Structure 1
Amino acid sequence: ARNEDRMNKTYEEFKTNGFELTACSGDVSKYKDCVKIIEHTISTYGKIDILINNAGISAEGTLEETKPDVFKQIMEVNFLGSVYMTRAALPYIKQTRGSILFVGSLAGIHGLGNYSAYCSSKMALTAVVESLRKEVHGTGIHIGIAYVGFTENDPEKTYFDNNGHIKALPDREKIKQVSVKKTVLQLMRMIEKRKYKSAFTPLGKLNAILNRISPYIVHNILLRVYRKNRN
């Protein structure tokens, strides 16, 4: 949840439907908050089997137009937030030989024009996943990253513009979106099968394959999209 009130509301909804759960608020861009969340989980359940790094925020703007502070904020939430949570949880997940899944984005496969900060933060996740996978080899821990496409968003979801102002996310009615339920099921399937990398949606899979075979083609396609949107 993006604020404590909504977190508590979600908590009550799940509890009403018979789920056993706990809730703890925190800012993933602050390491001490990540430690607090993990310690709360351990004190409640005694162990951690799965960590899904899903916290994130989008940002729009070219590198030249975007204020440096926006890059800093995006990296702190999207990249360092996942790193901090993983570092805090890692000793406990080693004990259970569990799973750590990073929720990336198709924007992290090949950079998009006008989304420099966001793409950088999502692409950085791939690097840390590749490194971490080697570092925990032999421990029984599953490390994975999901390249998620356009997913139905909460109507109240926001993003940063190039000046760092928070704005409501534009309507995506013209873009084919995947339901939250389907995306969640795909994430759970990755954990169940202990998959390393997976690009969601047919377009996402095509993007990943083409980017390996001929990144030049992907560059030209996305360049045309960027120019069209800028005009």
Structure 2
Amino acid sequence: MKEFWNNKVVVITGASSGIGAALLTELSGYPLTIIAMARRADEILLPARSHSHLKLIRIAIDLQDPSSIDDAVSLFPKEILGIDVFFNNAGITAHGRFEDLHMDVFRKTFATNFFGPVQLIQGLLDRIKFAKGRVVTTSTVSALYGVPGRAAYSASKSAMHAAMESMRIELMEEGVRSALVCVPYTKTALRKSGLGADGKILDEEQANRKLKTPEEVARLLMKTALEEQPRLVTMDMSGFFLKWMRNLSPSLLEKILFKKLYRDFH
């Protein structure tokens, strides 16, 4: 792993907190260039134990604003011709029963989880192609099935799966690779900044279960970037279970999901 990262150019979206900040910390020990993108780019700090040859470039971006994405692409350093690894990490969650979800929640969720990232990747695609680079998307097990209470979130992440799979096949001959990493519940502030059914900030506490740490997820994302042909990567039994049960016994899966999330709405 160590030699792979030397002198690479890496882009991280959502780099100011959570998994994105953990990626920045994990990668900062290598002599490489990191373009760290976030709405609050000024809050992105150089990790304490950084390599002396690490180059950190901060770019502010709001994935819900197409003009902000265009500005971010225009601010990308002209001297950097290629992107070796693009960590498509930024995202937002949304909770609520389908019948209660305001359409604005769908729009905002898709803007952050689908339209914004797609526009950004298209804007930087020539650089990704130049380096025969790879796109590693932080996804969720909720993208593998329409999870009850997560319609907007599941749908936006599933749409990203389809787009990245299409891109991977289309650009296969040009050496561009794409991997989707479905992570389980992780100790981040995602629920604090997510959306409720009415469009207001969710501000929920973490799920009451064993959580992965952002550092664990960051290391898996980095490991995935090293692999030659990763496609769909799951991190624990929850992802493995959903991946297989949707084909083997969807009716049983739906009963299990209904029972598991029933308490959220009753």
Show the counterpart of 1:123: 158
Show the counterpart of 2:44: 10
Distance apart, 1:65 and its partner CA: 0.5
Show the counterpart of 2:173: 138
Distance 1:162 1:222, change over 3 A: same
Distance apart, 1:4 and its partner CA: 7.0
Distance apart, 1:228 and its partner CA: 3.1
Distance 1:22 1:44, change over 3 A: farther
Q: Which moved more, 1:31-40 or 1:208-217?
A: 31-40
Distance apart, 1:6 and its partner CA: 5.0
Q: Does 1:188 align with 2:229?
A: no
| In structure 2, C-alpha distance between the alignment counterparts of 1:70 and 1:169, rounded to whole Å | 16
Instruction: Identify which of 234, 251, 259 aligns with 1:199.
Output: 234
Q: Which amino acid aligns with 2:169?
A: K
| In structure 2, C-alpha distance between the alignment counterparts of 1:120 and 1:184, rounded to whole Å | 24
Instruction: Identify which of 52, 56, 62 aligns with 2:97.
Output: 62
Distance 1:91 1:81, change over 3 A: same
Show the counterpart of 1:99: 134
Distance 1:76 1:149, change over 3 A: same
Distance apart, 1:156 and its partner CA: 8.5
1:42-81, aligned counterparts within 5 Å? 42-43=77-78, 45-81=80-116
Show the counterpart of 1:178: 212
| In structure 2, C-alpha distance between the alignment counterparts of 1:77 and 1:34, rounded to whole Å | 11
Q: How many residues align?
A: 229
| In structure 2, C-alpha distance between the alignment counterparts of 1:131 and 1:124, rounded to whole Å | 11
> More helix per residue: 1 or 2?
1
Distance apart, 1:200 and its partner CA: 1.5
Q: Does 1:161 align with 2:196?
A: yes
| In structure 2, C-alpha distance between the alignment counterparts of 1:99 and 1:182, rounded to whole Å | 20
| In structure 1, C-alpha distance between the alignment counterparts of 2:43 and 2:62, rounded to whole Å | 18
Q: Which runs of 5+ in 1 are unaligned?
A: none
Q: Which amino acid aligns with 1:60?
A: H
| In structure 2, C-alpha distance between the alignment counterparts of 1:136 and 1:76, rounded to whole Å | 24
Q: Which moved more, 1:26-35 or 1:131-140?
A: 26-35
Q: Which amino acid aligns with 1:178?
A: K
| In structure 2, C-alpha distance between the alignment counterparts of 1:44 and 1:158, rounded to whole Å | 35
Distance 1:119 1:73, change over 3 A: same
Show the counterpart of 2:11: none
TM-score relative to the length of structure 2 = 0.78
Q: Using the aligned pairs only, state the percent identity.
A: 21
Distance 1:15 1:43, change over 3 A: farther
Distance apart, 1:86 and its partner CA: 1.2
CA RMSD of aligned residues (A): 2.3
| In structure 2, C-alpha distance between the alignment counterparts of 1:54 and 1:44, rounded to whole Å | 24
Show the counterpart of 1:113: 148
Q: Is the 8 A contact 2:140 2:184 kept in 1?
A: yes
Distance 1:156 1:71, change over 3 A: closer
Instruction: Identify which of 244, 247, 260 aligns with 1:212.
Output: 247
Q: Is the 8 A contact 1:82 1:102 kept in 2?
A: no
Residue aligned with 1:24, SS: strand
Q: Which runs of 5+ in 2 are unaligned?
A: 1-15, 18-36
Q: Is the 8 A contact 2:180 2:232 kept in 1?
A: yes
Runs of 4+ in 1 over 6 A off after TM superposition: 2-5
Distance 1:213 1:42, change over 3 A: farther
| In structure 2, C-alpha distance between the alignment counterparts of 1:155 and 1:191, rounded to whole Å | 23
